[in-house]
Structure 1
């Protein structure tokens, strides 16, 4: 599979690229700073592009897109909503249907325990209100698109090693799940990408 990845210069995106290459996929990274991609592999290509500059966003030749772009600070952001919209517009123009997009698990879910609900409200109010709001905009937008989409909602991410064991929930939160490592999230993204059963689903993943 040829996968175009946005958000591959740090965190989960970087780990996803390495894992996809290990599994034999061809990967194209589109990055605002291509020099930040330090990995080298015969099946890896890197080109300059900015999700907020639609004229630089291209996915031609891809079988699938992985969108792992998100804010790194607390301030206002449109990386989920506008960035995701620009990528999906490019997919529509260039005939690419499959996308896995990562948002966050900060929205309230039916199965949230009271501690989870209180923790999310605190995090949203103090730290990530803008990121939560913008992520929900992307989720609403992606549902309107004629694409084979999957949305993955992780909780707080850690730099721990992959455990290979985690829980998922479709259309709901993972009950009591508040953590997952970036390594395991990257592994799940690849699994979801290859699984047609995840199409048109919003999936939470956590320990």
Structure 2
């Protein structure tokens, strides 16, 4: 499968590129600066440019079977960076006929399905501190849902560096309970699983590490 990874030089995007290459996919890494791309990733193609406009993104997604949108908030940058870039990405996908999109959001801004500790203590504090980032993510999700592409939105909790467990838990009707983190390597696994799973089209999926429970499905 040919997968374009947007934000491939970031920690999450790098993990997606690495997992995709290990799985035998043909990867196009889309970055602002090629020099920031990890040297050990070896994607088949690199599209680089500081200005992510319609021209660059059209070139980035042309010929792809799927797009992994791995762009997060930019500290000190515009407060609408995710919603703006996803709008440009969706337009480029329509222009090139690319249908499949897996986009990474976050579970921090929503409380559906949360345990009491998260809902009443942690989330109110986090939501105030990150209100601009969460507002941007919410609008990004809204634009994706309003599109005519075959999309899946993934909502992880706090992301960790380092090796993953090679497994994760997921839930489609709310956040995974009592699980507050996920390795980026395992999020990358979830992204690739979602791309390959036609039943995830049109779904918003919470993914996290943690102890199995009756409300979350285990993977791998």
TM-score (norm: length of structure 1): 0.92
1:76, distance to aligned residue in structure 2 (A): 4.8
How many residues are aligned here?
206
C-alpha distance in 1, partners of 2:57/2:20? Answer: 21
Inter-CA distance 164–38: structure 2 relative to 1 (3 Å threshold): closer
CA contact (8 A) 1:76 1:131 kept: no
- Select between 52-61 and 195-204 the one with higher mean Cα deviation: 52-61
Establish whether residue 90 from structure 1 lines up as the match of residue 92 from structure 2: yes
In structure 2, stretches of 5+ residues that fail to align are 210-220
- Select between 34-43 and 143-152 the one with higher mean Cα deviation: 34-43
Which residue of structure 1 lines up, in the alignment, with residue 36 of structure 2?
36
C-alpha distance in 1, partners of 2:77/2:146? Answer: 27
1:130, distance to aligned residue in structure 2 (A): 1.0
1:189, distance to aligned residue in structure 2 (A): 0.7
Deviation by residue 1:89-116 (Cα, 9 ceiling, x = unmatched): 0000110000000011122233112211
- Select between 191-200 and 53-62 the one with higher mean Cα deviation: 53-62
CA contact (8 A) 1:158 1:180 kept: yes
CA contact (8 A) 1:50 1:56 kept: no
1:47, distance to aligned residue in structure 2 (A): 1.5
1:49, distance to aligned residue in structure 2 (A): 3.6
C-alpha distance in 2, partners of 1:41/1:108? Answer: 33
Structure 2 residue corresponding to 1:131, chosen from 130, 133, 147: 133
Deviation by residue 1:102-139 (Cα, 9 ceiling, x = unmatched): 0111222331122112212211212x211100000011
1:73, distance to aligned residue in structure 2 (A): 2.4
Q: CA RMSD in A?
A: 1.8
C-alpha distance in 1, partners of 2:88/2:165? Answer: 34
Establish whether residue 105 from structure 1 lines up as the match of residue 107 from structure 2: yes
Inter-CA distance 191–30: structure 2 relative to 1 (3 Å threshold): same
- Is the partner of 2:206 in helix, strand or coil? strand
Within 5 Å, give how 1:1-207 maps onto structure 2: 1-39=1-39, 44-49=44-49, 52-58=52-58, 59-73=61-75, 76-117=78-119, 118-126=121-129, 128-207=130-209
- Is the partner of 1:150 in helix, strand or coil? strand
C-alpha distance in 2, partners of 1:83/1:51? Answer: 11
Inter-CA distance 190–200: structure 2 relative to 1 (3 Å threshold): same
1:75, distance to aligned residue in structure 2 (A): 6.3
C-alpha distance in 1, partners of 2:201/2:27? Answer: 21
C-alpha distance in 1, partners of 2:204/2:51? Answer: 22
C-alpha distance in 2, partners of 1:74/1:171? Answer: 33
